[in-house]
Amino acid sequence: MGLTIIVFLALLMGVTGSPNVTIRPEDASADDGLTHSTSFPETSEEMEIVGQQNVSVPEEAFEDVMATGELNPNHYPAQRAAKAVQHYLNTRYGSPYRVLILNRVHSGFAEDVADSGRKYKLEISVQDLISNKTEKCTAEVLFPRGEQQRPPQVQASLEELPNTNTKAEEEALFQKYKTNQSLLTENLPDSYGHIDPDMEPFWHLGSTAASFIMLSESTENTLYNMAQVANVTQLETENDQLKFDYHVLLHDMISQEIIHWKLLFTWSPPEGVKVLQMEKLPHSHHNETPQNNN
């Protein structure tokens, strides 16, 4: 198992063409990238919040992908369901100054629900990416069964919202860009993994908006992170809502695919993110890296 992980990491670094890790999950995630076979060992690596990979020593563990009953909190089934909770929480609470990420899965339980799908019950901690504050969260995730893929149904209760103190910053950002509709930028982060501090809120806003896509696309077989904002164009403010056209690159850790999406949405402090349109772009290559450094 250790060997598999090392080989995989070598590949990951090989494709990014740089010792700097260029795929930048904004959260703690499970990853071995190779879990199609049901008997494949399920392990998880932890990743540091911004940028660098924090690889924990993988445990020897063999588990069915569709594990039922009590789950190992560090293995894929629990991690993937918990990831859906992360995206759900961002659709509700995300902002340019608050992005919630999965910090840790404490416990997980899965069961088949007759005819409707599989239900996961989870105890997790989520962390605010900006303040680093964590909170406990209890959640249930139902992955519906059926011919047609449907989004998971998530119920989550947070003891408290990590970092509630974002109103003033949100308002200032809103006022700044409401009248000066000039935002036009590319590659957050850039090919050195760097984000201009002025642009950070727009990367966070992109993450929040991308969570709407990632939630609706999540299944028991995916584990999505936003890899990069390829570009962002601010459109004319409408009805007191800032309006943006984002092009985002999502990374599915399981298939190792980078998927391009175009996302049209509005944002204001009182209304939050409202997605107007999301479109999956045909441009989607296996093993492509977020940065084109060749």
Ligand X SMILES: *[C@@H]1O[C@H](CO)[C@@H](O)[C@H](O)[C@H]1NC(C)=O
49 three-class SS: coil
Least gap, CB of 260 to ligand X (angstroms): 6
Q: Does 195 bind ligand X (CB under 6 A)?
A: no
The smaller minimum CB distance to ligand X, of residues 39 and 182, is found at: 182
Report which DSSP code applies to 189: S
Least gap, CB of 189 to ligand X (angstroms): 10
Question: Alpha-carbon Rg of the chain, whole angstroms?
Answer: 19
Closest CA to 85 of 10, 36, 23, 135: 135
Closest CA to 64 of 76, 79, 56, 74: 76
Q: Does 19 bind ligand X (CB under 6 A)?
A: yes
- Hunting for tokens 């392990």 — which residue is that? 43
**CB–CB of 147/174 below 8 Å?**
no
The smaller minimum CB distance to ligand X, of residues 150 and 262, is found at: 262
Q: Which of 1, 15, 34, 46 binds ligand X (CB under 6 A)?
A: 46
Q: Which of 4, 11, 16, 18 binds ligand X (CB under 6 A)?
A: 18
Q: Which of 155, 164, 180, 287 binds ligand X (CB under 6 A)?
A: 180
Q: Which of 134, 233, 255, 284 binds ligand X (CB under 6 A)?
A: 233
Q: Which of 4, 8, 16, 20 binds ligand X (CB under 6 A)?
A: 20
Other CB atoms within a 10 A radius of the CB of residue 50 amount to 15
**196's tokens:** 């201009």
Site residues for ligand X per CB under 6 A: 18-20, 46, 49, 54, 131-132, 180, 182-183, 192-193, 230-231, 233, 247
